[in-house]
Every structure is written in structure tokens, then in C-alpha cells.
Amino acid sequence: MPMSRRALAEFFGTFWLVFGGCGSAVLAAGFPGFGIGFAGVALAFGLTLLTMAFAIGHISGCHINPAVTVGLVVGKRFPASEMLPYVVAQVAGGMVAALVLYVIASGASGFSLDAGFASNGYGLHSPGHYSLVACLVSEVVLTFFFLFVILGATDSRAPKGFAPIAIGLCLTLVHLIGIPVTNLSVNPARSTGPAVIVGGWAIQQLWLFWVAPIVGGALAGLVYPLVAGKPAEAGK
């Protein structure tokens, strides 16, 4: 598959993740009377990934996350030479999705970016006012296990056809844990889109939501092969 098509798939996949996940947080989480809340937002993120994994998994692998791409490179599942086009497409998709979401959300009276626009943050900008260290640790750990599940579910020895379900449910789970802490990132492209719209504090704190997910993803890429071994070693 040509890189142009794979990069375009990553663009649309990341757009859907950010628009669907962050859109549920901005438009539906606290809607008067029947808002979907944290659990609904967590499910929305999981559903965006699950649906896109079936839609574009056969085209690009459906990384739609720079931390996933880095983790797969470290785990020797993806060539490092192709990492940059994927990451650029992912970040572009997240930024365009955030812009479209802003156009929609700002059409409501009383809309304000002061509510955060689903941006990730720590300290005063953490939903639960968690410290920088707590937020850093949570993002590393949750990204690590997210990538660990991805690597396991897509292992050649894993049951065939079920990877999108396991991965989508895992993303739902890590959101259920992490939304109160950081609004949950585990995805630098997801964090970048809303941060660019909000500016100010969101841009200043964006570094954490690049560093922590990439560290967590890289660690999973190193650790999973140590646990699982090579496919040729299965049964030994």
C-alpha cells in the first residue's frame, strides 16, 4: 500500500478519534439533564478506535496515535523510516478535528474555551487537580498498558479478528481510570489538537502529553517481546 494512502488513512482515523472522543466530552458529557459523563466519554473514545480499526486497519494498521507508532517501532513491528509520515498525518488529523469541533461547539450560546475544550492538563488544569508527578506517572503507566494490549492483540499468535475489540475496550478502560487525572491523553495527537485551539496554559502543559505517552509506548515496545518471546518460540 503506498505511503500516501496509508498516511491519508491515519489522518482520517485520527480525525475520527479526536472528533468523536473530544466531541463527546465537549458537546455531550455535561449536557443538561442527560449528559453522558466520564463513562460515556470513555466509551466514545473506545468506540472511535474500535470502528476505525475495522475501517482502516487493513490500510495503515490504524495507529492513529504517535505513541502507538513509536511503540511499534521500538517493538520492531513497524519500520522507523516510515514513522515521520505517520506522525505528521496523525497530528494533522487531530488538529483539523479540533478545529471542526470548535466551529460546531462555538455555535452554542454561552460556549467558552475556559471550560478547557477537552484539553489535557496537570495541577490546576487537571480535572481532579492532580500533581504534575501524579499526571506524569499515570500517563506513562496507562500508555504502557495500552500499547502492551495492542502488541499482544496483534501478535501473530493471538486469536484472529478480535484485535480491534480488545484494543477499543482497552482504550475505554484507560479513559475510565485517567479522565479524572489528566482528562487522559495516551495520545500526543489527541492532546495537540485541542491545545492549539485553547492556547495559553494548554500549550504550556502540552509537553507532558508528548513525553509521557511516548515513554510509555516505547517501554511497552521493549517489554512485550521479553514477555512474549518471538513467534517462533511459541510453545517452548
CATH of 3-229, one of 1.20.1080.10, 1.20.1730.10, 3.30.300.30, 3.30.1200.10: 1.20.1080.10
Tens of each residue's pLDDT in the chain, 236 residues: 899 999 999 999 999 999 999 999 999 988 877 789 999 999 999 999 999 999 999 999 999 999 999 999 999 999 999 999 999 999 999 999 999 999 999 999 889 999 999 999 999 999 999 999 999 999 999 999 999 999 999 999 999 889 999 999 999 999 999 999 999 999 999 999 999 999 999 999 999 999 999 999 999 999 999 999 876 544 44
Please tell me the predicted confidence (pLDDT) of residue 213. 98
Distance between CA atoms of 67 and 214, rounded to whole angstroms? 5
Give phi and psi for 86, each to the nearest 5. Answer: -65, -50
- How many residues are present in the chain? 236
Distance between CA atoms of 164 and 148, rounded to whole angstroms? 14
State the sign of the Cα–Cα–Cα–Cα dihedral 98, 166, 51, 60: positive
Domain segments of the chain as ranges: 3-229
Please tell me the predicted confidence (pLDDT) of residue 235. 43
Please tell me the predicted confidence (pLDDT) of residue 232. 55
Please tell me the predicted confidence (pLDDT) of residue 236. 42
For the entire predicted model, the pTM comes to 0.94
With CA atoms as reference, report the closest residue to 75 among 20, 144, 6, 23: 144
Helix, strand, or coil here: 107? Answer: coil
